[in-house]
Amino acid sequence: MARIALVTGGIGGIGTAICTRLAKDGCSVVANHHPSESDAAEEWKKARASEGFDIATIAADVSSFEDATRMITEISEQYGPVDVLVNCAGITRDKTFKKMEAAQWQAVINVNLNSVFNVTRPVWEGMLERGFGRIINISSVNGQRGQFGQANYSAAKAGMHGFTMALAQEGASKGVTVNTISPGYVETAMTLAMDDAVRNSIIGGIPMRRMAQPDEIAAAIAFLASDQAAYVTGANLPVNGGLFMH
Ligand code: CAA
């Protein structure tokens, strides 16, 4: 039977590449999107179908525990229990800290970090009971090294890997692995939203002198989701063109 994979933020730039890659690898994929994006999700589903992918979509605000729990219940009833969870939903509210408002801090912590609890918690016990699971948290190079103008985002992304390391220890003896991927700058709407001068200066500082393509991130997720990665847990795999090494 095909494994069920849920990708939060699944219709976004990196999310789309993850969904199609996991589908190619034989998973039955469900792409989560925010309830406000239902029209976009319909279009997205048609676009994927025209490429030959049958990917389900489901609306839920992952920053709400109640809505995330409802989503997991619906997926279990319609498709079966989630075997592979990719926590990919994320937003930016970049501001120098002296200008950052509480709402910008809270939005980023709620969507990028609290969502990881909200979605992982309702799938976790089932994975332990079935003796198989893959949790993959999409963090960022900026969670590893910090970034000017991203105190909120860097805090949330660093927090994701703390969660990974703790939970990996709870899943290790039960066949459930928990890992982090830390992408560098990837060609998506999120990085396009940056000012041109800022973006060009960032690219100039990347040893590979280019951003990543979303497929290059998805390839790393495909590995961690696979049976071959059974002994990898609690890891933080950077995919950043050499931008940060440690
Ligand atoms: N280091 C040191 N100083 C810097 C700096 C840096 N990296 N960047 C800007 N500054 C300086 C500016 O030169 C300016 O100095 P002066 O006041 O002396 O002139 C000062 O900081 C303030 O700059 P701004 O007036 O431009 O401040 P702002 O609040 O309007 O904008 C910002 C700040 C929006 C955060 C802008 O700097 C920015 O967009 N930075 C990039 C943030 C970034 O990398 N975001 C990543 C988005 S993609 C993503 O997050 C995906 C992922 O995981 C990688």
Residue 62, domain CATH: 3.40.50.720
Give the pLDDT of residue 1.
Answer: 85
Query: Does residue 243 sit within a domain?
Result: no
Give the pLDDT of residue 109.
Answer: 99
Contact between 140 and 146 under an 8 Å Cβ cutoff? The reply is no
Provide the phi-psi class of 105: left if phi over 0, else alpha when psi is between -120 and 50, else beta.
alpha
| Most informative mutation of 198, 202, 203 for ligand 1 (most atoms within 8 A of CB) | 198
Distance 149 CA to ligand 1 centre (A): 5
| Most informative mutation of 94, 194, 210 for ligand 1 (most atoms within 8 A of CB) | 94
Query: Does residue 45 sit within a domain?
Result: yes
Query: Does residue 242 sit within a domain?
Result: no
Residues with CB under 6 A from ligand 1: 92, 94-96, 99, 140-142, 147-150, 153, 185, 190-191, 194-195, 198, 202
Q: DSSP character for 226?
A: S
Residue with the smallest CA separation from ligand 1 atom 2 is: 148
Overall domain count for the chain? 1
State which residues form the domain around 120.
4-236
Closest ligand 1 atom, residue 96 Cα: 29
pLDDT tens digits, one per residue of 107-159: 999 999 999 999 999 999 999 999 999 999 999 999 999 999 999 999 999 99
Distance 148 CA to ligand 1 centre (A): 5
Query: Does residue 184 sit within a domain?
Result: yes
Query: Does residue 245 sit within a domain?
Result: no
Give the pLDDT of residue 57.
Answer: 98
Q: Give every residue of the chain whose pLDDT is below 50, as ranges.
A: none
Give the pLDDT of residue 246.
Answer: 85
The pLDDT mean for the chain works out to: 98
Query: Does residue 246 sit within a domain?
Result: no
Q: Taking the CA atoms of 187, 191, 192 and 195 in sequence, report the sign of the dihedral they define.
A: negative
Query: Does residue 241 sit within a domain?
Result: no
The span from the CA of 141 to the CA of 146, in Å, is 8
Q: DSSP character for 112?
A: I
Query: Does residue 100 sit within a domain?
Result: yes
